Amino acid sequence: MTTDTWLDDNNRYLAASLQWLRLRLQRLLPPEAVAEAPLPPPTPVAQAAATASAATAKPGRWNLWGGRTAAAPMIGLSTVAPKLLQDASASQPTVDELLKAAAAERDAAARTDPPPALLLLAQRLDLSAFERDTLLLCAALEYDPGLATLCARAQGNPACTLPSFSLALSAFDDPSWDAVSAQRPLRYAHLIDVGNNRDLPLTSGPLRADERIVNYLKGLNALDDRLASLLTPVKDEDPLLAASQQANAETAIERLRVAAEDAVLPVVQLVGADAGSRLAVAQQVCKTLNRRLYRLETDALPSQAAELELLARLWQRESILLPVALYIDAENFEGAADTGAALRRFLAQEMGVVFLAVRDTPLRLAVDSFAVDVARPTADEQFTAWRGHMPDAAGNAEAEAENHAAAQLLAGQFSLNLNEIRQVATLASKMPAGDSALKDSALKDKLWDASRDLVRPRLDALAQRLEPKATWDDLVLPQEQMRIMRQIAGQVRGRHKVYGEWGFGQRMNRGFGISALFAGESGTGKTMAAEVIANDLRLNLYRIDLSAVVSKYIGETEKNLRRLFDAAEQGGAILFFDEADALFGKRSEVKDSHDRYANIEINYLLQRMESFSGLAILATNMKSALDQAFMRRLRFIVNFPFPGIKERSLIWEKALPAETPKDGLDFNRLARLNVSGGNIHSIALNAAFMAAQERKPVTMPTMLAAARGEMKKLDKPFSEAEFK
């Protein structure tokens, strides 16, 4: 059956039902009342456009395997009157005879597959015949406003233009008092609204059909407006899943298939650190089940019990009326009492397909659930994905080797899911066309840069991004320290080869990251060294802002650290913990709750540092203040000595750019000043400003004057003879 055909049949059934309803109400009137005031003629149902996606779904509570239908315009619904009414004056049939004919036409119009919307709704919500007819009575006034007069006359009160439960009890066969119960579908699922006039008995209160249901019965099946403001539709696209993640989706589908015959489906808890992978698995499940996925943040759950109850019931209703599924993102849910109680109450009432996304461990719920562990694609799966986005080597062995090496670097440095890799490749492919000989190299650079920039927004809120400009030539360190520095950069580059191709990763379950401690006095080059490594590796460098990470609220520091490490791990960023002793200090004796939680934060740091797969650099001028547990987990320790005269001479030579005009500088004499490299750069900068103001080149007197000011600032003793 086509959509247009079903719409025609639904219109015919609705028109026949309205005529049947008019006769039901007319039968309640005494004959003299009809003679004194003839009934108004039936009002044609308004023309409207609608979609019939609900009507074309197969009957059944969950219908996991039903398909979607496209939207189609709704044709006009014209009132179909029985033949007996066409010439009522000739034969004067009784109301009962007219009602019998109308019922026959209504029954005939109901014999469609799929059934009309009213019958489909009754099947899915287990409405009795009396409840179905009561719902029709409430909705009918929206289709035929003339029925308002008939309702008022049937109730013997001109002001009662809306139907009441008392009117339904009188008008329909097999009336049931429990239909008005708050636990029966009419009220529980908010199919009708009961007037809250406390001066009237419950059975006399005005009834009105819910707007969502009025539209549904006409064939318009769209998400309730009250939910649209809280839910975000997930983009309807084919997710890219690695083989390991496809297995996760198939596991969830099979579990739901087994449970599909039960009254309530279990909650699917998707557990994993990568939010994108969790969502992709949920999208794949919904694609197989032909369901539209909506996302709900736990922060959006109402705190008021009445509002939460309304939200739960409305979504429960939508999961029956529409092929939808709900994705609740609980990644930032830290077990707060209020949010946890609201989440559990909400889930206790849901029966459709619901995904609960959590990061570390499944939540304990009062309803049936099962957990599916979802990990990021493995390094090999990421390598294969990157390999597919490399330029065509066209059988060239050298180009093939370059592509292999580039894919190795990308997979080894960044931890992205397949959808993110596709996103990066799309951005890179939009580069301007240039010389074909350079285009392949430029594309690889664009892939690297786009991967590096992917998580910048998430890190910028927690750390300060440094723009690395220093190079190896700018760094002045003893030979041993330089060797260790280059070794650090080399290990970052070679991780995929060693852990992946050479099999070390299969023998390890932690310690994939690289952690280094830079220890030395202030100004000895620790920050510059971190910049040199970041510049050499073409990676983002973030200096951790302790004020943004450390919180006085219990549990917030761990949450911020988790977000920081996760984002850095994904985007391959280098984390630079300046003054690390403030965050990685020794654990204290527990004297109160603050000490206990401070130690918990340090313990979390220990665990996260060990599981971090990127490069973390700790800098301190108080090496002895660091907790020994951190020291044992460091792969490299680089001691930055105070520069000697030879090193200071080199630093002075590099302190002034080549473009700076200078005259008669004696770097060996300047090197006799007992200052650190950081102080030397400050002196050179101040001297340049002094020379620029005097419109002269930088000379020894200018440099010595700037040095005198720097020494005074540092409160360091000096001899005036040094500045003559």
Model confidence at 26: pLDDT above 80: yes
Residue 460 lies in a domain: no
Residue 203 lies in a domain: yes
Q: Which residues contact 199 (CB under 8 A, 6 or more apart)?
A: none
Enter the tokens of residue 161: 């233009």
Residue 140 lies in a domain: yes
Which residue, 503, 579, 573, 593, is CA-closest to 533? Answer: 573
Question: Based on the domain organization, do 415 and 300 belong to the same domain?
Answer: no
Model confidence at 106: pLDDT above 60: yes
DSSP state of 524: S
Q: What is the pLDDT of residue 683?
A: 93
Assess contact for 334 and 241: CB atoms under 8 A: no
Q: Which residues contact 68 (CB under 8 A, 6 or more apart)?
A: 53, 290, 292, 323
Model confidence at 294: pLDDT above 60: yes
Q: Write down the pTM of the prediction.
A: 0.79
The torsion defined by the Cα of 225, 228, 229 and 230, in degrees rounded to 10, comes to 130
Residue 557: pLDDT band by 50, 70, 90 thresholds?
confident
Residue 179 lies in a domain: yes
For residues 639-651, average pLDDT = 93
Question: Based on the domain organization, do 523 and 606 belong to the same domain?
Answer: yes
Angle of CA points 467, 471, 474, to nearest 5°: 115
Can you tell me the distance from the alpha carbon of 117 to that of 120, in angstroms, rounded to the nearest whole number? 5
Helix, strand, coil percent values for the chain (each to nearest 5) = 55, 10, 35
Q: Report the range of poorest mean pLDDT among 211-215, 509-513, 713-717.
A: 509-513
Question: Based on the domain organization, do 392 and 321 belong to the same domain?
Answer: no
Residue 17 lies in a domain: yes
H-helix segments, 126-262: 129-143, 147-154, 165-171, 185-188, 211-218, 225-228, 243-259
For residues 384-400, average pLDDT = 83
Can you tell me the distance from the alpha carbon of 550 to that of 601, in angstroms, rounded to the nearest whole number? 9
Model confidence at 13: pLDDT above 70: yes
Assess contact for 407 and 383: CB atoms under 8 A: yes
Q: Report the range of poorest mean pLDDT among 214-228, 255-269, 471-485, 661-675.
A: 255-269
Greater model confidence, 544 or 263: 544
Q: Which residues contact 143 (CB under 8 A, 6 or more apart)?
A: 14, 18, 45, 46, 77, 218
Model confidence at 449: pLDDT above 70: yes
Question: Based on the domain organization, do 238 and 255 belong to the same domain?
Answer: yes
Question: Based on the domain organization, do 528 and 626 belong to the same domain?
Answer: yes
For the segment 244-280, what is each residue's pLDDT rounded down to a tens digit?
999 999 999 999 998 887 667 999 999 998 999 999 9
Which residue, 338, 335, 363, 273, is CA-closest to 556? Answer: 335
Q: What is the pLDDT of residue 264?
A: 78
For residues 312-319, average pLDDT = 94
Residue 465 lies in a domain: no
Model confidence at 125: pLDDT above 50: yes
Residue 712 lies in a domain: yes
Model confidence at 440: pLDDT above 80: no
**What percent of the chain clears pLDDT 70, i.e. is strictly above it?**
83
Greater model confidence, 433 or 505: 505
Q: What is the pLDDT of residue 580?
A: 78
Q: Report the range of poorest mean pLDDT among 13-17, 57-61, 316-320, 563-567.
A: 57-61
**251: burial class by Cβ within 10 Å (0-12, 13-18, 19+)?**
middle
**SS3 for 663?**
strand
CATH number of the domain enclosing 689: 1.10.8.60
Rg of the chain on CA atoms, in Å: 37
For the segment 157-211, what is each residue's pLDDT rounded down to a tens digit?
888 899 999 999 999 988 888 888 889 999 999 999 988 767 777 788 899 999 9
Question: Based on the domain organization, do 431 and 489 belong to the same domain?
Answer: no
Can you tell me the distance from the alpha carbon of 82 to that of 74, in angstroms, rounded to the nearest whole number? 23
Model confidence at 233: pLDDT above 90: yes
Q: What is the pLDDT of residue 723?
A: 57
Q: Give the sheet arrangement for strand 636-640, strand by strand.
A: 463-466, 541-544, 574-577, 615-620, 514-520, 636-640
Can you tell me the distance from the alpha carbon of 668 to that of 645, in angstroms, rounded to the nearest whole number? 8
Q: How many domains does the chain have?
A: 5
Assess contact for 516 and 485: CB atoms under 8 A: no
Q: What is the pLDDT of residue 601?
A: 66
Model confidence at 626: pLDDT above 70: yes
Domain of 422? 381-454
Q: Report the range of poorest mean pLDDT among 28-37, 160-169, 675-684.
A: 28-37
Phi and psi torsions of 572, nearest 5°: 70, 20
Assess contact for 117 and 127: CB atoms under 8 A: no
Assess contact for 656 and 688: CB atoms under 8 A: yes
Dihedral sign of CA atoms 320, 322, 323, 329 in order: negative
For residues 229-245, average pLDDT = 91
Phi and psi torsions of 151, nearest 5°: -60, -45
Bridge-based pairing state of the strands 292-297 and 369-373:
unpaired
Can you tell me the distance from the alpha carbon of 311 to that of 322, in angstroms, rounded to the nearest whole number? 16
Q: Which residues contact 168 (CB under 8 A, 6 or more apart)?
A: 130, 133, 134, 137, 175, 179, 207
Question: Based on the domain organization, do 363 and 392 belong to the same domain?
Answer: no
Enter the tokens of residue 418: 């397949």
Q: Which residues contact 377 (CB under 8 A, 6 or more apart)?
A: 242, 244, 245, 277, 385, 417, 418
Question: Based on the domain organization, do 576 and 694 belong to the same domain?
Answer: no
For the segment 59-87, what is each residue's pLDDT rounded down to a tens digit?
333 344 333 333 333 323 333 344 444 44
Residue 86 lies in a domain: yes
Question: Based on the domain organization, do 94 and 169 belong to the same domain?
Answer: yes
Residue 639: pLDDT band by 50, 70, 90 thresholds?
very high
Q: What is the pLDDT of residue 544?
A: 84
Can you tell me the distance from the alpha carbon of 296 to that of 234, in angstroms, rounded to the nearest whole number? 10
Distance separating the N- and C-terminal Cα atoms of the chain: 101
Among 162, 196, 222, the domain-final residue is 222
Q: What is the pLDDT of residue 180?
A: 84
Among 373, 397, 422, the domain-final residue is 373
Bridge-based pairing state of the strands 615-620 and 636-640:
unpaired
Q: What is the pLDDT of residue 66?
A: 36
Question: Based on the domain organization, do 476 and 518 belong to the same domain?
Answer: yes
For the segment 133-147, what is each residue's pLDDT rounded down to a tens digit?
999 999 999 999 889
For residues 666-671, average pLDDT = 90
Peptide bond into 114 cis (omega under 30): yes
Greater model confidence, 67 or 531: 531
Residue 641: pLDDT band by 50, 70, 90 thresholds?
very high
Can you tell me the distance from the alpha carbon of 190 to that of 310, in angstroms, rounded to the nearest whole number? 9
**155: burial class by Cβ within 10 Å (0-12, 13-18, 19+)?**
buried
Dihedral sign of CA atoms 280, 281, 283, 287 in order: positive
CATH number of the domain enclosing 535: 3.40.50.300
Assess contact for 613 and 415: CB atoms under 8 A: yes
Can you tell me the distance from the alpha carbon of 694 to that of 187, in angstroms, rounded to the nearest whole number? 86
Q: CA 222 → CA 51, 53, 322, 323, 718, distances in Å?
A: 8, 9, 8, 11, 81
Greater model confidence, 442 or 362: 362
Enter the tokens of residue 70: 């496209």
Assess contact for 586 and 626: CB atoms under 8 A: yes
Q: What is the pLDDT of residue 330?
A: 87
Which residue, 468, 614, 453, is CA-closest to 527? Answer: 468
Question: Based on the domain organization, do 331 and 213 belong to the same domain?
Answer: no
Assess contact for 75 and 11: CB atoms under 8 A: yes
Question: Based on the domain organization, do 486 and 345 belong to the same domain?
Answer: no
Among 575, 607, 640, the domain-final residue is 640
> Across the chain, what does the average pLDDT equal?
83
Which residue, 233, 226, 215, is CA-closest to 309? Answer: 226
CA 348 to chain centre: 23
Phi and psi torsions of 296, nearest 5°: -130, 125
**What percent of the chain clears pLDDT 90, i.e. is strictly above it?**
44
